[in-house]
Amino acid sequence: MTPQQAYDELFAISKEITTLHSIGSIISWDRETYMPSKGAELRAEQSAYISGRTHRLFIDPRVGELLAEAEAGAFGQNPESDEAANLREWRHDYDRAVKVPAELVEEISRTSVLAQSAWTEARRKSEFALFQPLLTKHIDLARQVAGYIGYTESSYDALLDEYEPGMTTAEVKRLFSALRDDLVPLVHAILGSSRQPKTEILHREFPLDRQKLFGEAAAAAFGYDLLGGRLDTVTHPFCIGIGPGDVRITTRYTLNFFNESFFGVLHETGHGLDEPNLPAAAFGGPLGDACSMGIHESQSRLWENFVGRGRPYWRYFFPRAQQTYPAALGDVTLDDFYFAVNAVSPSYIRVEADEVTYNLHIMLRFEIEQAIIGGDLPVADIPGVWNETFERYVGIPVPDDAQGCLQDVHWSFGGFGYFPTYALGNLYAAQIDAAARTALPDLDAQIASGDFQPLLGWLKTNIYQHGKRFRAPDLLRRVTGQAPSHEPLMGYLKAKFGELYGVA
Amino acid sequence: MTPQQAYDELFAISKEITTLHSIGSIISWDRETYMPSKGAELRAEQSAYISGRTHRLFIDPRVGELLAEAEAGAFGQNPESDEAANLREWRHDYDRAVKVPAELVEEISRTSVLAQSAWTEARRKSEFALFQPLLTKHIDLARQVAGYIGYTESSYDALLDEYEPGMTTAEVKRLFSALRDDLVPLVHAILGSSRQPKTEILHREFPLDRQKLFGEAAAAAFGYDLLGGRLDTVTHPFCIGIGPGDVRITTRYTLNFFNESFFGVLHETGHGLDEPNLPAAAFGGPLGDACSMGIHESQSRLWENFVGRGRPYWRYFFPRAQQTYPAALGDVTLDDFYFAVNAVSPSYIRVEADEVTYNLHIMLRFEIEQAIIGGDLPVADIPGVWNETFERYVGIPVPDDAQGCLQDVHWSFGGFGYFPTYALGNLYAAQIDAAARTALPDLDAQIASGDFQPLLGWLKTNIYQHGKRFRAPDLLRRVTGQAPSHEPLMGYLKAKFGELYGVA
């Protein structure tokens, strides 16, 4: 067997796994949108079948043999070639998958089922103790995983590597620490400002059918193709890429709150612009898949905040919003509206947080995750540490665990290492936005005239089309000339919110 | 390995195949309902993957060995036991599956893709010649299939057996011939009657949102569980059973025609009552699957026509229809409405045909299929024979092939042997309806008071819960004491339409 033959066979296996994942994405989407409630039990079996089958296909010793054969070829001579990039990612995922014993994978799976119902109950009653035993179990299992995967510096590295390969715990710590030092004073200055937005205008009546049409128009304006996607209503909004020609977004509507659905749609649209612009021919291998969780998040935040919460955007869209909601917005000025959608206020719930305080929510979770995985923090102490740190960062006391350490679903499925990618997405977004502005000097004027094609084209060329060809830090360096950094984000936040709130 | 162990392993394989089929059902449903149009190419790949994988799982020689081992056990001593019934059906399907070479299966699959676009084009232009070459190819392939499967009397037997096991061509011929001899004079008498319904009342305005709510209410009244199913809008309505807790129905709405959606919903509801009443524990094996296509169709026709087009039904539902559509039905009497929804008129399109003429459409297709598969009819002669026979049976000349031999999709996917099950469904429905009326002497009064539970309960006990435990003719004999017969259907049609049209 030649290295090329081995590569081709690997691609065929990878394509079978990808096809199964794409089928799995449809049944997940259906579960969240239209599945009748009594179908839940069967759906769990169907999803478990797909997970089990893809896992078994991938950990087959044949994959290891093929990888070794293909790696012995000359593909590595051009590390940016399609073959070298796919081999690098397959090797990474294969080594992770085979290092962890099947029994441990199953144990995590079983624990997740139990932990998710325990967490739901605990959050409902706001009683951390109800979740504590299964969280403790999950943490123990995650530590075992880290042990099997291996690490040089920190056990958290082994977990972070699943969500953001190429990023290290030390690097995240350095970035977050610098960001926090700059961010906390900015938050306090903003909250202390006498200039405050009239947020009540966002809480008037926005008829739901109009919200749907306005949201679809906003998504389409960015370049989201409604013939290759769709917008549906769910409880917890998400974007799901099924594959070439089919990337779906979701939202939820609140009659008396403009932001909930509108900025949610812009956020999911940002996710939904990445995948349709991956090379369709690469479907089946890592090059046909988005770069990383952090880069994926950077695109949702870039389109939602850097574009969609910007003044140029509303120069174009505010008159359209007024036409759509004459009763609610007829008497509102552009300046008041722009300030209102950029209101900064301390809040308990991460997913509702504004652009400035959002990152503090992530840092808090990262610090706690690191400490519990490293063994420095007993699980029982999480609520105390959470509440103390939250108040120090955000400036308000946490009223209960439901609005504190029990608010997010991630720990209930053992997703340790996932949270940092949310804040990394914000850092990356600021760096990419700055690079785009250098390359497109007329960007603000284009946005103000409703023309998003130049930005989309630049992102497609520089980010989307590469798939996983480069790891996130390498991609950033190529596109922005910089390593991951907190400075562009802080520069952006200080300029924008300094002007809005009149703080230095 | 004991026979029990072999049986258990077979059940596990069967359950894996069933799980994959249930996943395939979701992605088929999604394709017809909500899939964005650009997702079609990927969807075809996903569906082909599931078909290929289930086929390979089933034709594995291991399945043949396990069948032999299990059959050597004592299961056959009680042929109605779960194990014996499952083994009988697995054997039937396995023998069919392994007899046909994989290359022939693939050739049919490739031909179907080409034939479906050729048929679409041919129907659009009403030019049979555009479809003829691929239809000829499909017929040749179907004959090869029949040759591999084997048969004693008629090559058509081998094809019919795929859709209605236990039924033979000779038996269908006998039934259809007797039915035709009785039916044609009835049709002519009805069409010659001076008494005719006021069908314009069905072509007034029926607002679409009301049609959806009224359709859901009608489905729910029959016992269709909207927490274990849903009603969506599609181009070609269908019912799809995904599995326990999830059986979905679909319809299409026409503003100016009451029947299109309403009786379509009753029809699909009839299909959708069977599967939720299969024993959930049997999911994965034949006992967890509906008896046969003919029995499945009998349930859609029973609920749509024997119940839903009956006078007792409208005694209950007509006042509700008037409340729902006051402008359209406020001035209409129950008698006029009941007569209108039972209008008999010659029409070209099978799926729009009334209860009386419908069966003639099926007989025509059966006669032609038999002749072309048997080699007695050259493909080029199909339009001529179709048009001549149609006029003789239905009494009107066929204007073009689009409204004649090109109207149905079935031949484009090589589905020879499928059509007879539609008319068998009507025969079975009449036999089952008669048996139910004997067992439930108050049935009409129950229906007239909106109480469908006694009928549903009786069908559940006598039909649904058995799954594939009995072949269709055996099930009928158990439930009705009769072999399949045309007499109950003719008795029903003569009584009902004789009274409506004043003919003997």
Please give the positions of B annotated as active site: 268
d(CA B230, CA B126) in angstroms, rounded, equals 36
- Write out the two tokens for B188: 């002519």
Average pLDDT, integer, range B245-274: 97
Q: What is the pLDDT of residue B504?
A: 79
The pLDDT tens digits of the residues spanning B110-131 come to: 899 899 999 999 999 999 999 9
d(CA A438, CA A448) in angstroms, rounded, equals 17
Which residues of chain B lie closer than 8 angstroms to A12, CB-CB? none
For the CA atoms of B81, B82, B85, B89, the dihedral, rounded to the nearest 10 degrees, stands at -170
d(CA A10, CA A380) in angstroms, rounded, equals 46
Does the beta-carbon distance from A245 to B30 stay under 8 Å?
Answer: no
Average pLDDT, integer, range B261-284: 95
- Write out the two tokens for B57: 């799982």
Best of A16, A17, A23 to substitute, by most chain B Cβ atoms within 10 angstroms, is A23
**Strand A239-243 relative to strand A246-251, pairing:** antiparallel
The minimal CB distance from B36 to the residues A16, A46, A227 is found for: A227
Q: Does B15 touch chain A (CB under 8 A)?
A: no
For the CA atoms of B136, B141, B144, B149, the dihedral, rounded to the nearest 10 degrees, stands at -130
User: Of all helices (H) and strands (E), which one includes residue A40?
Assistant: helix A40-59
Phi/psi at B246 (5° precision)? -155, 90
Does the beta-carbon distance from A19 to B244 stay under 8 Å?
Answer: no
Question: Is residue B315 pLDDT above 90, yes or no?
Answer: yes
User: Of all helices (H) and strands (E), which one includes residue B240?
Assistant: strand B239-243
Query: With 0-12 CB in 10 A as exposed, 13-18 as middle and 19+ as buried, what is B369?
Result: buried
Q: Please measure the distance between the N-terminal and C-terminal CA atoms of chain B and give it in whole angstroms.
A: 66
Does the beta-carbon distance from B225 to A19 stay under 8 Å?
Answer: no
Average pLDDT, integer, range B5-20: 98
Q: Does B31 touch chain A (CB under 8 A)?
A: no
The pLDDT tens digits of the residues spanning B468-484 come to: 999 999 999 999 999 99
Of A221, A329, A229, A233, the closest CA to residue A266 belongs to: A221
Query: Which of A 258-287 lie inside 8 A of B, CB atoms?
Result: 283
Q: Does B504 touch chain A (CB under 8 A)?
A: no
Q: Does A43 touch chain B (CB under 8 A)?
A: yes
Does the beta-carbon distance from B22 to A230 stay under 8 Å?
Answer: no
Q: Does B248 touch chain A (CB under 8 A)?
A: yes
Q: What is the pLDDT of residue B329?
A: 98
Average pLDDT, integer, range A421-438: 98
Which letter does DSSP use for residue A200 in this model? G
The pLDDT tens digits of the residues spanning A362-410 come to: 999 999 999 999 999 999 999 999 999 999 999 899 999 999 999 999 9
Average pLDDT, integer, range B221-225: 98
What is the value of ipTM here, to two decimals? 0.92
Does the beta-carbon distance from B49 to A227 stay under 8 Å?
Answer: no
Q: Are B493 and B310 a contacting pair, CB within 8 Å?
A: no
Does the beta-carbon distance from A36 to B244 stay under 8 Å?
Answer: no
**Mean pLDDT of all residues belonging to chain A:** 96
The pLDDT tens digits of the residues spanning B431-455 come to: 999 999 999 999 999 999 999 999 9
Question: Is residue B497 pLDDT above 90, yes or no?
Answer: yes
Q: What is the pLDDT of residue B80?
A: 86
Q: What is the pLDDT of residue B418?
A: 97
The minimal CB distance from A42 to the residues B42, B230, B245 is found for: B245
CA–CA–CA angle A52, A63, A99 (5° rounding): 65
The pLDDT tens digits of the residues spanning A76-92 come to: 899 889 999 999 999 99
Other CB atoms within a 10 A radius of the CB of residue B274 amount to 25
Please give the positions of A annotated as active site: 268
Which residues of chain A lie closer than 8 angstroms to B23, CB-CB? 23, 27, 46, 49-50
Does the beta-carbon distance from B245 to A36 stay under 8 Å?
Answer: yes
Helix, strand, coil share (%) of chain A residues, nearest 5: 70, 5, 25
Contacts of A452 (CB under 8 A, 6+ apart): A221, A222, A223, A307, A446
Considering only alpha carbons, which residue of chain A is nearest residue B26?
A27
Average pLDDT, integer, range B85-89: 97
Question: B476-487 burial, b if ≥16 CB within 10 A, otherwise e?
Answer: beebbeeebbbe
User: Of all helices (H) and strands (E), which one includes residue A82?
Assistant: helix A82-99
Of B476, B389, B365, B378, the closest CA to residue B431 belongs to: B476
**Mean pLDDT of all residues belonging to chain B:** 96
Q: What is the pLDDT of residue A102?
A: 87
Does the beta-carbon distance from A23 to B227 stay under 8 Å?
Answer: no
Radius of gyration of chain B (CA): 23
Does the beta-carbon distance from A19 to B228 stay under 8 Å?
Answer: no
Q: Does A129 touch chain B (CB under 8 A)?
A: no
- Helix H segments across A167-251? 169-192, 208-222
Question: Is residue B76 pLDDT above 90, yes or no?
Answer: no
Question: Is residue A459 pLDDT above 90, yes or no?
Answer: yes
Does the beta-carbon distance from A228 to B45 stay under 8 Å?
Answer: no
Question: Is residue B205 pLDDT above 90, yes or no?
Answer: yes
**Strand A231-233 relative to strand B246-251, pairing:** unpaired
Considering only alpha carbons, which residue of chain B is nearest residue A43?
B23
Q: Is B333 helix (H, G, I), strand (E, B) or coil?
A: coil
Q: Are B357 and B347 a contacting pair, CB within 8 Å?
A: yes
Q: Are A192 and A500 a contacting pair, CB within 8 Å?
A: no
Task: Determine what percent of chain A is predicted with pLDDT higher than 90.
Answer: 96
Q: Does B34 touch chain A (CB under 8 A)?
A: yes
Q: How far is B457 from chain A (nearest CA, A)?
A: 21
Q: Does A39 touch chain B (CB under 8 A)?
A: yes
